[in-house]
């Protein structure tokens, strides 16, 4: 990037990191106010429709957009969440800048793309996408409006309908005055005028305001969030999936598609469930369908690559991972998997370049060294894995027992170089080499 573009990209990345942190930890107001709700609604409804809504109606719709975004990114109750990594994609032609963020929830990382733009009032969020399932949160709002669209109203007919009961009330009050006034003594007629006049005035004011509001609002919209029938079915499917009820989950996912949920993300979820259950044939079919949908679920390509890598087909895995990176942008996990595929295919120079790109995305040196060593371990290169970990030992951050129990190092578990490395005494004073039956939680998850 040129100097000015690079500065813009860095500002965009910092803005995205800051607002993502607010979404995960609070204050929530910072995140909500950064969402360009007006711009999203203008694109969804059309500029003419949005411009003809009254300020009251616009004020009713903005919270629906912001709540959709906040709900999608909110961490589960009681769980820890943070921004794991960030990467700035190539700026879009419209002036928008895509920023890829990895949001860590516990040990899982959600890959997201934040489309941000500088406006006269500062940086704003145009959209956030959940990259692997291929879900745009702005498009989700559009689907919600499709269930209860903003529709033109017959203002003249509705104004007449609102005015008629008030007019009838005024006629009734006038009739009361006409009937009872001649029968009352002169001194009580003033009281009759007061008793009838006050309600008549209220009827008239209420009628004028109701008719004026009706004539000013050319479009009708629901003042409560529209129902989204697929949402409950998606939740039912996830619960069944968590309980191991594969058939029930698949049936609920299918009903969600029939109710309006997009096919790509659903087929991707079904593929994940099938793979977790050990049904690789069904998972592969689900992922292939998810990847062929319009729009596709890019994460399906990454899953197919992982399956190809596990089956000993590194060239196929490499092709799928390169396609995924072109579509979804880089992230440390995918780059490390690509480095393994390149190393297994015999292209060690490409593997070194790829792992360097993966390390550049990670903010913390310890995690970078672990990632590099794990990639070399998966490629069966014990000497390179040990060399990547050596700098951690000098800083007192090397835990040999944790390495011994880390499944990422299984491919080199019996290699003499790795075995000798694990058997070494700690070289840093005060660092304890724990016995094989000790236990220690890892501070960072395996890559």
The model's pLDDT over 319-364, given as tens digits with 9 standing for 90+, comes to 999 999 999 999 988 998 998 899 888 888 898 889 888 888 876 6
- Within a domain: 348: no
Task: Examine the domain organization and report whether 134 and 62 are in the same domain.
Answer: yes
Task: Examine the domain organization and report whether 26 and 89 are in the same domain.
Answer: yes
CA-nearest of 63, 46, 57, 49 to 213 is 57
Query: Strand ranges (DSSP E) for 89-158?
Result: 97-105, 108-119, 122-130, 135-136, 151-152
Task: Examine the domain organization and report whether 143 and 160 are in the same domain.
Answer: no
Residues in the chain: 447
- Within a domain: 274: no
Task: Examine the domain organization and report whether 101 and 30 are in the same domain.
Answer: yes
Average confidence (pLDDT) over 3-17:
83
Give the Cα separation of 224 and 327 in Å (integer).
37
- Mean pLDDT, the chain, rounded, equals 80
Task: Examine the domain organization and report whether 112 and 170 are in the same domain.
Answer: no
The model's pLDDT over 263-273, given as tens digits with 9 standing for 90+, comes to 999 999 999 98
Task: Examine the domain organization and report whether 30 and 114 are in the same domain.
Answer: yes
- Within a domain: 403: no
Phi/psi of residue 18, nearest 5 degrees: -65, -45
Predicted TM-score (pTM) above 0.95: no
- Within a domain: 442: no
Give the Cα separation of 194 and 174 in Å (integer).
12
Task: Examine the domain organization and report whether 167 and 185 are in the same domain.
Answer: yes
Give the Cα separation of 291 and 129 in Å (integer).
16
431 has a pLDDT exceeding 70? no
CB distance 377 to 385 below 8 Å: yes
Confidence of residue 442 (pLDDT cuts 50, 70, 90): very low
- Within a domain: 409: no
The model's pLDDT over 165-215, given as tens digits with 9 standing for 90+, comes to 766 666 766 676 666 666 667 666 666 666 666 676 666 677 666 656 655
371 has a pLDDT exceeding 80? no
Which range of residues forms the domain containing residue 93?
Answer: 3-148
CATH code of the domain covering residue 91: 3.10.450
80 has a pLDDT exceeding 90? no
Specify the number of domains making up the chain.
Answer: 2
Q: Is 384 helix (H, G, I), strand (E, B) or coil?
A: helix
**Minimum mean pLDDT range among 107-116, 274-283, 325-334, 392-401:** 392-401
Give the Cα separation of 81 and 74 in Å (integer).
9
- Residue bearing the bigger pLDDT, 392 or 16: 16
Give the Cα separation of 404 and 412 in Å (integer).
10
Task: Examine the domain organization and report whether 143 and 184 are in the same domain.
Answer: no
Task: Examine the domain organization and report whether 9 and 108 are in the same domain.
Answer: yes
Specify the pLDDT at position 280.
Answer: 92
Average confidence (pLDDT) over 423-428:
73
- Within a domain: 91: yes
Task: Examine the domain organization and report whether 18 and 138 are in the same domain.
Answer: yes
User: Last residue of a domain, which of 104, 119, 148?
Assistant: 148
Phi/psi of residue 313, nearest 5 degrees: -120, 70
CB distance 361 to 87 below 8 Å: yes
């Amino acid at each position: 990037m040129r100097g000015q573009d690079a500065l813009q990209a860095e500002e965009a990345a910092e803005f995205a990191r800051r607002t993502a942190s607010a979404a995960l930890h609070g204050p929530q107001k910072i995140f909500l106010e950064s969402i360009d709700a007006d711009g999203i609604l203008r694109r969804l409804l059309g500029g003419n429709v949005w411009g003809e809504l009254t300020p009251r109606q616009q004020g009713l719709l903005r919270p629906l957009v912001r709540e959709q975004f906040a709900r999608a990114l909110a961490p589960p109750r009681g769980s820890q969440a943070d921004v794991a990594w960030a990467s700035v994609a190539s700026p879009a032609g419209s002036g928008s800048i895509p920023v890829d963020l990895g949001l860590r929830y516990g040990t899982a990382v959600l890959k997201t793309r934040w489309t941000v733009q500088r406006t006269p009032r500062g940086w704003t969020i145009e959209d956030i996408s959940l990259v692997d399932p291929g879900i745009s949160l702005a498009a989700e709002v559009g689907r919600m409006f499709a269930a209860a669209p903003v529709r033109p109203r017959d203002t003249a007919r509705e104004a007449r309908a609102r005015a008629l009961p008030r007019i009838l009330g005024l006629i009734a009050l006038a009739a009361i005055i006409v009937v009872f006034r001649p029968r009352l003594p002169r001194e009580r007629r003033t009281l009759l005028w007061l008793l009838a006049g006050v309600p008549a005035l209220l009827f008239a004011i209420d009628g004028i305001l109701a008719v004026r509001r009706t004539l000013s609002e050319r479009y009708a919209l629901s003042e409560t969030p529209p129902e989204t029938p697929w949402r409950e079915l998606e939740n039912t499917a996830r619960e069944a999936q968590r309980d191991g009820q594969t058939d029930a989950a698949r049936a609920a996912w299918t009903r969600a598609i029939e109710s309006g949920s997009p096919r790509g993300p659903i087929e991707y979820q079904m593929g994940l469930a099938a793979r977790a259950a050990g049904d690789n044939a069904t998972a592969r079919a689900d992922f292939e369908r998810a990847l062929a949908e319009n729009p596709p679920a890019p994460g399906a390509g990454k899953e197919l690559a992982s399956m190809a890598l596990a089956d000993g087909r590194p060239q196929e895995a490499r092709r799928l991972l390169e396609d995924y990176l072109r579509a979804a942008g880089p992230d440390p996990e995918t780059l490390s998997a690509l480095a393994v595929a390149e190393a297994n295919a015999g292209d060690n120079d490409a593997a070194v370049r790829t792992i360097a790109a993966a390390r550049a995305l990670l903010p913390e040196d310890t995690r970078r060294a672990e990632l590099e060593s794990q990639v070399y371990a998966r490629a069966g290169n014990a000497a390179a894995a040990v060399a990547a970990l050596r700098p951690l030992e000098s800083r007192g951050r090397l835990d040999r027992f944790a390495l011994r129990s880390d499944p990422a190092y299984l491919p080199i578990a019996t290699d003499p170089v790795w075995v000798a490395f694990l058997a070494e005494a700690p070289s840093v004073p005060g660092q304890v080499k724990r016995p094989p039956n000790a236990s220690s939680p890892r501070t960072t998850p395996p890559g």
